[in-house]
Amino acid sequence: MTDTTNAPAAPSNPPPSQAARKGAWSRFLTATELDTRLIGMVAALILIWGGFHMYGVLVNGQGFFLTPRNLWNLSVQTASIGIMATGMVLVIITRHIDLSVGSILGFTAILMGMMQVNILPQYLGLGHPAIWIITVVFGIICGMMIGGFQGALVAYGGIPAFIVTLGGLLVWRGCAFLVARGETISPVDATFSLLGGGPYGSVGATGSWIVGLIICAGIVFMIVNGRRQRTKFEFAKRPYWADTFLAVLGCAATVGAVLLVNSYYWPKGIVKQYIAANDLNVEAETLFISHGFAIPVLVLVVVAVTMNFVMNNTRFGRYVFAIGGNPEAAALAGIDTKWMTVKIFAIMGGLAGLSAVVASARLNSATNALGTLDELYVIAAAVIGGTSLAGGVGTIFGAILGALVMQSLQSGMVLIGFDAGMQQVVVGSVLVLAVFLDILYRRKSK
Amino acid sequence: MSANTPIDRTGTPLVEMRNMSISFGGIQAVDDVSIDLYPGEVVGLLGHNGAGKSTLIKILSGAYAADSGEIYVNGEKATIDNPRDARTYNIETIYQTLALADNLDAASNLFLGRELTTKFGMVDDAQMEAECRKIMHRLNPNFRKFSEPVSALSGGQRQSVAIARAVYFDAKILIMDEPTAALGPQETQMVAELVQELKRQGLGIFLISHDIADVMELCDRVSVMKNGQLVGTEKVEDVTDDDILGMIILGKKPGAKAA
Ligand SMILES: Nc1ncnc2c1ncn2[C@@H]1O[C@H](COP(=O)(O)OP(=O)(O)O)[C@@H](O)[C@H]1O
Ligand SMILES: [Mg+2]
């Protein structure tokens, strides 16, 4: 450890080395205010990634997991679950559950499919630039209305959320089937499909560097601003080295992600198409075009930053936590807990609608089966990410890490050729194990 | 008996609750109860567990809607439909359960529902913590745990957070529902001093307590409830501890035996 120079004066009697090491570690945790469970999650992620890669190396002679291509795909696959997981955090913090998100996703995807394929082109003409915007807004509003309706049944009807959304699980899936009459709606609007990722639905090398720099600037700003606030009120500050460490860590992770997505190049087939379409005079073999961040991943980043802001910096977020901690106290403090419940479920529904955008754009079609079983992955992501089912506790970024863990397991198993049955066994077991570990963790820290 | 300055009860009362009734299912929790409170006065509410004391004051604090009865604040009819309404009349309450969100820190609880915000409308945690430190320094100088959730606090520390919440916002009418239940003797003494200080500032206080000695020392009048009904209201200088005990246990007014 290099922190000894900046650490507060050492006690006059140095403790034995074992205790000193432990002391240094817990001092490090206290100083950086890093959560042990967050570190645990990152460790789990590294284990999963390394494990799948090594499995490939040992059994197939080549590892496919830790490649730019796979990790880029992983980021895109995580987007849809991650977007919904940020909303599920709010739902679970307030001691509710939403089992209907996968079905809301399916239904709103069908509604958006009808809108952009069958309805809007009649009035605007095929490929009109407003089609995707109207469709996205329409989808999100539909999701919000469905979610808000369910929230009202919970809040004002007094029906447990478990029952309302279990009913919703069937109702909205059924509606999706009825509206689409079981047919697949495709292809979606060309601009809309970019929201699903793919070579054209990515921002490229330069774009990714710009995004990366903005994120780094944001991290540094938050740390500097935090220091300034604490200085202004003369509160105890994190040590300089801890703030520096956090800033460097955050920026390094961001730059690493940019380097990674920029080292995944367009497939040669797409490059040839691109050369032909733009009449370029180059050989496909010599032209390397980076994917960069996929648009759905950027959507997830924007959603995460927004939701994190809402939870930590607005009254709404404060009330979500208060209701989760003690619903009666929240009501006595003058918070309209019922209306809050409606709003929370509406946000969840709206995010399911946004996920439907990403998911149907990625498939370039809408089917009534889209999002099946997603509710389980979303709930698992939130819970693995540290959202307590007892209410009152949870973080947005934790849930996104949780989504990444779930998706890593899922695509890792596909990569090494586990069959569907085995995948379900593993995912189900991991969920139960994660909740058990969570219970142990909380018992210990009590 | 402490040297209480006499209370002027000729003017309009600060609060008047007239003929309040409320029932839950089959239980008549409060049955036609009328009480009042003057500026600078402490009125004790006594009675067994389940007598209806908490329920009565929860009507005043906006937590429950009465089935019938009227509330007057400064002589004017008041409509209190929810806790926010009560706060607009400067009615602050320390609930028996404390009503703290255990997962939030002291400052977040202190300002719950009335958060300080920056000019951009964001919650201003640093400002709130600074204010919280100030008031806690006054109420409980030993309080240090500002950045921990209140679930990590002792009973007395939690109680002082709940008290701080009622005192911080310039209450005119203060309701204290068993404020010393979780406290040791020294902290109880601090609450007693606080009550007298607030009384000197002209607040009206409803003090619910189990302890007759406490009530006789701090209060100007006592109202005794039994089975949801008001047994009677007496000035403390007119009655003995035993009279009050009789009212609580037997539901009998002290004058009754003379009549
Ligand atoms: N929310 C409620 N629902 C049902 N019954 C209640 C409720 N609140 C209070 N009661 C009942 O009303 C009666 C009076 O209770 P309470 O006002 O808490 O008494 P006290 O504070 O004098 O001990 C009790 O019988 C209690 O069970
Ligand atoms: Mg009570």
Q: How far apart are CA A165 and CA A150, in angstroms?
A: 7
pLDDT of residue A404 exceeding 50: yes
* Confidence at A36, pLDDT banded by 50, 70, 90: confident
Q: How many CB atoms lie within 10 A of CB A429?
A: 10
Domain boundaries for CATH 3.40.50.300 within chain B: 15-90+171-258
Sequential DSSP letters for B26-58: TEEEEEEEEEEE-TT-EEEEE--TTSSHHHHHH
pLDDT of residue B256 exceeding 70: no
Which of B93, B122, B149 is nearest residue A313 as measured by Cβ atoms? Answer: B122
pLDDT at A155: 98
pLDDT of residue A27 exceeding 60: yes
pLDDT in tens, A43-69: 989 999 999 999 989 988 888 899 999
Which of A315, A325, A329 is nearest residue B115 as measured by Cβ atoms? Answer: A315
* Single pTM value for the model: 0.92
Task: Map tokens 């990634």 to a residue.
Answer: A49
Cβ atoms B216, B241 nearer than 8 A: yes
Task: Identify the residue with better confidence: A435 or B118.
Answer: B118
Q: How many CB atoms lie within 10 A of CB B79?
A: 9
Amino acid letter for position A421: G
% pLDDT > 70, chain A: 95
pLDDT in tens, A355-397: 999 999 999 999 999 999 999 999 999 999 989 888 999 999 9
% pLDDT > 90, chain A: 69
pLDDT at A4: 37
* Confidence at B255, pLDDT banded by 50, 70, 90: low
- Quote the ligand 2 centre to B116 CA distance (angstroms): 31
Task: Map tokens 């389980």 to a residue.
Answer: A376
pLDDT of residue A41 exceeding 80: yes
pLDDT of residue A1 exceeding 70: no
Q: What is the mean pLDDT of residues A106-128?
A: 93
Q: Which of A70, A131, A83 is nearest to A304 (CA)?
A: A83
Task: Provide the 8-state DSSP code for B4.
Answer: P
- Nearest-neighbour CA in chain B from A234: distance (Å): 9
Q: How many CB atoms lie within 10 A of CB B10?
A: 6
**Chain A residues contacting B via beta carbons under 8 Å:** 229-230, 232-233, 235, 313-315, 317-318, 321-322, 324-326, 328-335, 392-393
A221, with CB counted inside 10 A (0-12, 13-18, 19+), is exposed
Task: Identify the residue with better confidence: A390 or A442.
Answer: A390
- Quote the ligand 1 centre to B222 CA distance (angstroms): 20
Rounded to the nearest integer, the mean pLDDT of chain B is 91
**B15-90+171-258: which CATH topology?**
Rossmann fold (3.40.50)
Structural domain spans, chain A: 37-185+329-439
Which of B83, B123, B130 is nearest residue A332 as measured by Cβ atoms? Answer: B83
pLDDT of residue A118 exceeding 70: yes
pLDDT at A236: 80
Contact at CB, A318 and B130, closer than 8 angstroms: no
Contact at CB, B112 and A325, closer than 8 angstroms: no
Task: Identify the residue with better confidence: A349 or B257.
Answer: A349
Q: How far apart are CA A345 and CA A145, in angstroms?
A: 9
pLDDT at A3: 38
Sequence-ordered list of residues with C-beta below 8 angstroms from that of A316, at least 6 positions apart, any chain:
A310, A340, A343
| Most confident segment among A168-177, A183-192, A278-287 | A168-177
% pLDDT > 90, chain B: 73
Task: Map tokens 């995010």 to a residue.
Answer: A351
* Confidence at A13, pLDDT banded by 50, 70, 90: very low
pLDDT of residue A260 exceeding 70: yes
| Most confident segment among A116-130, A152-166, A223-237, A279-293 | A152-166
Residue nearest to atom 8 of ligand 1 (CA): B55
Q: What is the mean pLDDT of residues A295-315?
A: 97
Q: Which two tokens stand for residue A78?
A: 């995580």
Contact at CB, A392 and B103, closer than 8 angstroms: yes
Contact at CB, A332 and B117, closer than 8 angstroms: no
Q: Which two tokens stand for residue A41?
A: 């999650």
Phi, then psi, of A32 in degrees rounded to 5: -85, -10
B226, with CB counted inside 10 A (0-12, 13-18, 19+), is buried
Q: Which of B3, B166, B27, B186 is nearest to B83 (CA)?
A: B166
- Quote the ligand 2 centre to B54 CA distance (angstroms): 4
Range with the lowest mean pLDDT among A94-98, A141-145, B88-92, B144-148?
B144-148
Beta strand B42-46 pairing with B204-208 = parallel
Q: Which two tokens stand for residue A239?
A: 């040590």
- With b for 16 or more beta-carbon neighbours within 10 A and e for fewer, the A89-125 pattern comes to bbbbbbbbbbbbbbbbbbbbbbbbbbbbbeebeeeee
pLDDT of residue A230 exceeding 60: yes
Residue nearest to atom 16 of ligand 1 (CA): B52
pLDDT at B200: 92
Phi, then psi, of A191 in degrees rounded to 5: -70, -40
Long-range contacts formed by B151-157: CB under 8 A, 24+ apart: B151/B102, B151/B103, B153/B106, B155/B182, B155/B183, B156/B182, B156/B183, B156/B184, B156/B187
Please choose from B17, B23, B27, B222 the residue to mutate so as to test ligand 1's pocket, defined by most ligand atoms within 8 A of CB: B27
pLDDT in tens, B204-236: 999 998 788 888 899 999 999 999 999 999 999
Sequence-ordered list of residues with C-beta below 8 angstroms from that of B174, at least 6 positions apart, any chain:
B91, B92, B93, B94, B166, B167, B198, B203, B204, B205, B206
Task: Provide the 8-state DSSP code for B229.
Answer: E
ipTM: 0.92
Cα-based distances in Å from B37 to A321, B8, B40, B61: 36, 11, 9, 14
Task: Identify the residue with better confidence: A353 or A199.
Answer: A353
* Confidence at A96, pLDDT banded by 50, 70, 90: very high
pLDDT at A22: 62
pLDDT of residue B1 exceeding 70: no
